[in-house]
């Protein structure tokens, strides 16, 4: 079992993550995650893909030009190696995922989820964007080569409709960090267990999770999915495996620890050996590597905002709290009368920074439009008011 998650490619982009211009950092983060996700299917990208990615990061070519270059590289390749098919899949899927993550959009519907699979595997899989029409089993190393019970193919559409509709109607208002993490883990785990497609389910679920978490206020495009995509997949396996004969129940804790690291800045040791159903004594207890009782150990999103000098955004977050308020209600609470100034200096920055969202995001001019805190905003609100 490879604990390094195939991250040789990841290291090539560190210089941009640390020192690049904002646009370069953003493109490098997208490539890093896209390439890292290939490890869930044991794939590695080619040197050509890394060179092409570098050209895109530096702004020499667009992402669409990069995708076309990768496509033409394999069309015109005159010498062929035995792993060309795997590398072509990894290269083209990485470029496709990078384009998707760079757009920062989300169609949070069943059709959107299916379309996401098509966009990820376009030009790679014959049945990209099509629900599977057969039942599946998969032998898993962490289960000693047993399989998760995946949903039967006849009910795929119904199950996706139900899970996504339930999540669309769910309110995160007032949730504790623990409850939030548990809920997100259940939702992502449930979508994955449906296993809607013949291949590429984990990569599709990961991209969908990144997009969704962004849409509710979190910036999650970091090295967690890049470095630990194989752990992410195995954690999904453990969350959906039950064997009464072996006294093994569904175990979501490993997936929750992935999300705790991702969203709360915790430091659980995310190595796959901890997830095996019969680990050795050395790997039987998964440690949290963070120092205990560190006052600065607060959620990353809160820590980032505490460093901002935008007092107007902080003031707005405190005023909204757990409510859903209209613009006029917010202006009254703040004692403001000039709407353009309120929009420019309070509301728009709070929305663009991910702390406030619209009740009807698809209809900005909705007559009953109101504004509420995102999960990220709620975490900040709790931090700002904990001593009041």
pLDDT at residue 96, as a whole number: 97
pLDDT at residue 34, as a whole number: 93
What domains lie within the chain, and their CATH numbers? 1-103 (no CATH), 131-297 (1.10.3290), 300-385 (1.10.10.10)
pLDDT at residue 37, as a whole number: 92
pLDDT at residue 7, as a whole number: 43
Report the alpha-carbon distance of residue 342 to residue 330 in Å, rounded: 9
pTM: 0.73
Q: 15: which 2 tokens?
A: 């210089």
Report the alpha-carbon distance of residue 26 to residue 213 in Å, rounded: 17
Residues of the chain with pLDDT below 50 are: 1-2, 4, 6-11, 292-299, 301-307
Q: How far is CA 117 from CA 73, 144, 204, 282, 286, in A?
A: 23, 29, 6, 38, 33
pLDDT at residue 9, as a whole number: 43
Name the 3-class secondary structure at 323: coil
pLDDT at residue 42, as a whole number: 87
């Amino acid at each position: 079992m490879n604990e390094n998650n195939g991250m040789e490619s990841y290291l090539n982009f560190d210089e941009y993550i640390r020192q690049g211009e904002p646009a370069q950092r953003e493109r490098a983060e997208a490539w890093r995650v896209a390439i890292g996700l290939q490890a869930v299917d044991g794939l590695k990208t080619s040197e050509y893909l890394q060179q092409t990615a570098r050209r895109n990061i530096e702004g020499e070519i667009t992402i669409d030009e990069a995708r076309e270059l990768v496509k033409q590289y394999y069309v015109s390749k005159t010498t062929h190696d035995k792993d060309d098919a795997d590398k072509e899949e990894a290269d083209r899927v990485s470029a496709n995922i990078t384009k998707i993550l760079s757009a920062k959009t989300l169609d949070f519907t069943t059709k959107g989820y299916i379309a996401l699979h098509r966009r990820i595997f376009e030009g790679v899989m014959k049945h990209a964007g099509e629900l599977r029409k057969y039942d599946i089993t998969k032998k898993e190393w962490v289960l000693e080569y047993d399989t998760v019970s995946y949903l039967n193919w006849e009910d795929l559409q119904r199950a996706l409709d139900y899970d996504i509709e339930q999540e669309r109607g769910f309110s995160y208002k007032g949730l504790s960090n623990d409850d939030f993490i548990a809920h997100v883990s259940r939702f992502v785990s449930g979508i994955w267990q449906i296993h809607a497609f013949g291949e590429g389910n984990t990569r599709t679920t990961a991209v969908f999770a990144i997009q969704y978490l962004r849409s509710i206020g979190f910036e999650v495009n970091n090295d967690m999915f890049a470095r630990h995509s194989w752990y992410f997949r195995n954690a999904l396996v453990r969350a959906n495996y039950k064997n009464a004969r072996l006294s093994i129940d569904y175990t979501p804790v490993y997936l929750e620890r992935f999300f705790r690291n991702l969203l709360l800045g915790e430091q659980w040791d995310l190595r796959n050996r901890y997830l095996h159903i019969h680990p050795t004594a050395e790997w039987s207890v998964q440690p949290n590597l963070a120092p205990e009782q560190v006052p600065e150990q607060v959620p990353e999103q809160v820590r980032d905002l505490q460093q901002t000098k935008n007092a107007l955004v902080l003031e707005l977050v405190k005023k909204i709290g757990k409510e859903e308020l209209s613009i006029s209600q917010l202006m009254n609470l703040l004692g403001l009368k000039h709407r353009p100034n309120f929009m420019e200096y309070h509301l728009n920055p709070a929305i663009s920074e991910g702390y406030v969202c619209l009740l009807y995001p698809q209809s900005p001019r909705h007559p009953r439009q109101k504004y509420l805190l995102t999960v990220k905003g709620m975490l900040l609100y709790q931090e700002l008011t904990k001593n009041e």
